[in-house]
Structure formats: C-alpha cells, structure tokens
Structure 1
Amino acid sequence: MDNNKNILHKDTKCSAEHPHTQPWYGNLKYLVLGILFGIVFVKAEIISWFRIQEMFRLQSFHMYGVIGSAVITGMTSVFIIKKFNIKTLSGEKISIAPKTFNRGQIYGGLIFGFGWAVTGACPGPLFAQIGTGALAVIVTLLSAVFGTWVYGYFREKLPH
C-alpha cells in the first residue's frame, strides 16, 4: 500500500547518481523563462477574467483552443520522451509513473473548476495576473496556498 501511495504522489521523477549543486544565480534562467511565460499569458489573454468567464459560459472558443493545444502539446511531448528515451539536459533519465484513477480526482477537479470559475484564476496565471497590477488576485493566491495546506493536512483521510 505504501508503495502505491508513493507512485500516486510522485508521478514524474528524474534520477541522477550525483545531485548537481549550482550557485544561486544559476536559477536566473528560470526567472527569465517565467517572466517570458507570463508575458505570453498576458498577450494571449488567458489571464483575463473575462476570457475565463466566456469559457465557463460557453460563449467563446478562445480558452478551449488554448487548453486543447496545451493538452496536445503535452501528449506529444510525453510520447516523444517515452519513444526516444529522452533525458534531461544534465543527462538524467526521465521516468513517468503509470496513473491510476481514484474518485478523489473527481472531487478535486470539481473544487478546482468551481474555484477557477469564481475567481477567474488558476495557479498558472496567478502571478501573471498580480504582475499586471490585479492586486485583488493576491487573495486568490493566499486562498490557493491555504487550500494546498488543507489538502496536505487531510490528504491521508481523503478518498483514495
């Protein structure tokens, strides 16, 4: 049972014999990449509360197109990683654990979707929304952090 729980909570991992240590400025590339990703979010209007409301009201295809292209890109990427045994830039093997369905995914998806519809934000665009000056989204960020803490606290008691 414990082995199964590890598989459920550790979906993807990279294994290296010697962990790499780097100076703090080695992470600046991730900051730059994050900023560029945020700019793309803003330009594509996927952080727009109005675009998200259009999606939930079935009034526009815009967000469905974005989400659909992300799913196709992810599926293609995983297929290529598995087919060609792609490794990380530092040569680590990428292993993707098989997924198992449980009813908690339904409950979590419903709670996530409800929160997304009410707030107009999901975890990805939160920081981009704050970066555009939508400071009210800080409440959503704090709620997401609190929700994550609550999940961690009650995880063992939730349906499997």
Structure 2
Amino acid sequence: MTQKRHPLFIPLIFVGGLIFGFGLGFSHMARPEVVLNFLQFEDFGLLFVMGGAAVVTGIAFALVPRLFDRAPLTGNIYGRRLKAFDRNVLIGGTIFGVGWGLSGICPGAAYASLGVGNVTILWALAGMFVGAYMQGYWRSQRARTKTQATNTD
C-alpha cells in the first residue's frame, strides 16, 4: 500500500534544492578551484561548509523521529536503512573520490556550478551520467547472468 504524498512535497523539494544550490554558490563551493585547493590542504573553507551541513543533518536525524512518528510530507514511517560496509562500498567510494579529485567537484555542486556560469563543468556532468549508466548496465548484466546460471541448475 503506497502512501499519498502531501501536495507540498515536490515544491518543498524544489525549494530545498534552491537553498542548497544558493548556499553552494554563495560559499564558493561550486567553483572547482576552491574544492581542489581544499583537497590540496590549501583552503579549509569546505571543511566548515561540510561541518555545518553535518551538524544540521545530525540534529535533524536525532530530533525529528522523536517529534513525529511519520514523515510529515510522505507519511512514511521513520526507519534506519543500514548498508553493510563491503567490497562494493569500498570500490564505489574510491572511484567516486578519484572522480571528485580529478574534476574538483561533487555531483550536487556540479549543478550549482552551472548556475555560477561554469559551463565547462558539463564535461564532468556528462562523465557522471555515463559512469552511472555504465554501472547500471554492468549491474543488470551481472544480475541477468546470475539468473541464467540459477535457471540452468
């Protein structure tokens, strides 16, 4: 049984994205050179931006489930989705980190970077889409092979 979403769900997601993008642009985190300076231990401003976001998120994750038994906009019950730390998490995180280091931008900031006029970031965005597509294709091929092997047994 699916829950009906609150009519403000999509508009609030949009507003949240606008606030996020504006914050990235305002803090200059949408500029790859700032991110690369952080990764080279020359500018620690990104640390404060990420730290601020982690504090707000931590407080929200701690308080909101105590105040509400269900998510206000979706009606879903709050729960934790734990994923085991396995080989796929390690390999995926490493690939993501290398891509972040090479491009100087993470996916969220890449979109905000377009808003501050950085059109060359389209190359990084194209790479992100191609990489995500390749991973999805690889996973579907792996699942198909596994299903065929199980059916022949």
TM-score, normalising length: structure 1: 0.73
| Correspondences of 1:96-111 after superposition (within 5 Å) | 96-111=80-95
**Residues 105/53 of structure 1: CA separation in 2 closer, same or farther (3 Å cut):** same
Tell me if structure 1 keeps the 8 A contact 2:3–2:76: no
Relative to structure 1, the CA distance from residue 55 to residue 26 in structure 2 (aligned partners, 3 Å threshold; closer, same or farther) is: closer
Report whether the alignment pairs 1:137 with 2:121: yes
Among 54, 63, 71, the alignment partner of 2:46 is 63
Q: Which amino acid in the other structure matches residue 83 of structure 2?
A: K
Gaps of 5+ in 2: 144-153
Q: Identify which of 20, 24, 47 aligns with 1:37.
A: 20
State the secondary structure of the residue aligned to 1:94.
Answer: coil
Residue deviations 1:75-108, cap 9 Å, x none? 3322224444542223331222223110221211
Name the amino acid aligned to 1:116.
W
Gap change, CA 1:63 and 1:18, over 3 Å in 2: closer
Provide the rounded CA distance (Å) in 2 between the counterparts of 1:26 and 1:94.
Answer: 16
Counterpart-to-counterpart distance in 2, 1:138 and 1:19: 36
Q: Which has the higher strand share?
A: 1
Contact 2:38 2:44 in 1 (8 A): yes
Q: 2:4: which partner in 1? A: 19
Q: Which runs of 5+ in 1 are unaligned?
A: 1-15
Residue of structure 2 in register with 1:147 after alignment: 131
Matched position secondary structure for 1:96: coil
Alpha-carbon separation, structure 1, partners of 2:11 and 2:56: 26
TM superposition outliers: structure 1 runs of 4+ over 6 Å: none
Residue 47 of structure 1 contacts residue 121 of structure 1 at CA under 8 Å; is this kept in 2?
yes
Instruction: Assess if the C-alpha contact under 8 Å between 1:80 and 1:86 holds in 2.
Output: no
**Following the alignment from structure 2 to structure 1, what is the Cα–Cα distance between the partners of residues 15 and 81?**
30
Larger helix proportion of the pair: 2
CA RMSD between the two structures: 2.6
**Partner letter of residue 17 of structure 2?**
G
Indicate the percent of aligned positions where both proteins have the same amino acid.
22
**Contact 1:52/1:63, CA 8 A, preserved across alignment:** yes
